[in-house]
Amino acid sequence: MRIRSGLCALLLLAATATCSKPHEAAGARHPPPGERTIPVDVAPAQQRDVPIYLDGLGTVVAFKTVTVRTQVNGRMQEVFFREGQPVRRGEALAQIDPRPFLIQLRQAEAALARDKAQLATNTKDLKRYQYLAERRLIPQQQADDQQGLADQGAALVRADEAAIAAARLNLEYARIVSPLDGVTGIRMVDPGNLVSTSDTTGIVVVTQLDPIAVFISVPQERLADIARQQRQHPLEVIVLSRDGGTELGRGTLTVIDNIINPATSTLRLKAVLANPDHGLWPNAFVKARLLLETRQGALTVPAQALQRGPDGTFVYVMGQDHTVQPRPVTVGLLQGPLALIDKGLNAGEQVITEGQNQLHPGSKVAPRKGHGP
User: How confident is the model over 165-200, as pLDDT tens digits?
Assistant: 999 999 999 999 999 999 999 999 999 999 999 998
> Using CA atoms, how far apart are residues 354 and 67, in angstroms rounded to an integer?
59
Res 18: pLDDT: 41
> Using CA atoms, how far apart are residues 254 and 125, in angstroms rounded to an integer?
67
CATH pick for 54-63+206-295 out of 3.40.30.10, 3.40.50.1970, 2.40.30.170, 3.40.640.10: 2.40.30.170
Which residues of the chain form CATH 2.40.50.100?
72-96+177-196
Q: What is the pLDDT of residues 231-278, one digit of tens each?
A: 999 999 999 999 888 999 999 999 999 999 999 999 999 999 999 999
Res 133: pLDDT: 87
Which residues of the chain form CATH 1.10.287?
98-173
Which residues of the chain form CATH 2.40.420.20?
35-49+297-367
Which residues on neighbouring strands pair with residue 134, listed in sequence order? none
Which CATH architecture fits 35-49+297-367? Beta Barrel (2.40)
Which CATH architecture fits 98-173? Orthogonal Bundle (1.10)
Query: Global pTM?
Result: 0.69
Res 368: pLDDT: 87
Low-confidence ranges of the chain (pLDDT < 50): 1-31, 34, 371-373
Which residues of the chain form CATH 2.40.30.170?
54-63+206-295
Backbone angles phi, psi at 356, to 5 degrees: -65, -25
- Angle between helix axes 99-134 and 140-173 (nearest 10 degrees) is 160
Res 120: pLDDT: 94
Helix (H), strand (E), coil (C) string for the chain: CHHHHHHHHHHHHHHHHHHHHHHHHHHHHCCCHHHCEEEEEEEECEEEEEEEEEEEEEEEEEEEEEEECCCCCEEEEEECCCCCCEECCCCEEEEECCHHHHHHHHHHHHHHHHHHHHHHHHHHHHHHHHHHHHCCCCCHHHHHHHHHHHHHHHHHHHHHHHHHHHHHHHHHHCEEECCCCEEECCCCCCCCCEECCCCCCCCEEEEEEEEEEEEEEEEHHHHHHHHHHHHHCCCEEEEECCCCCCEEEEEEEEEEEEEEECCCCEEEEEEEECCCCCCCCCCCEEEEEEEEEEEEEEEEEEHHHCEEECCEEEEEEECCCCEEEEEECEEEEEECCEEEEEECCCCCCEEEEECHHHCCCCCEEEECCCCCC
> Using CA atoms, how far apart are residues 297 and 228, in angstroms rounded to an integer?
21
> Using CA atoms, how far apart are residues 258 and 282, in angstroms rounded to an integer?
23
Backbone angles phi, psi at 109, to 5 degrees: -65, -40
> Using CA atoms, how far apart are residues 182 and 94, in angstroms rounded to an integer?
16
Res 14: pLDDT: 42
Backbone angles phi, psi at 207, to 5 degrees: -120, 140
Res 265: pLDDT: 92
**Selection from 203, 164, 207 nearest residue 72 by Cα:** 203
Q: Which CATH class is domain 72-96+177-196?
A: mainly beta
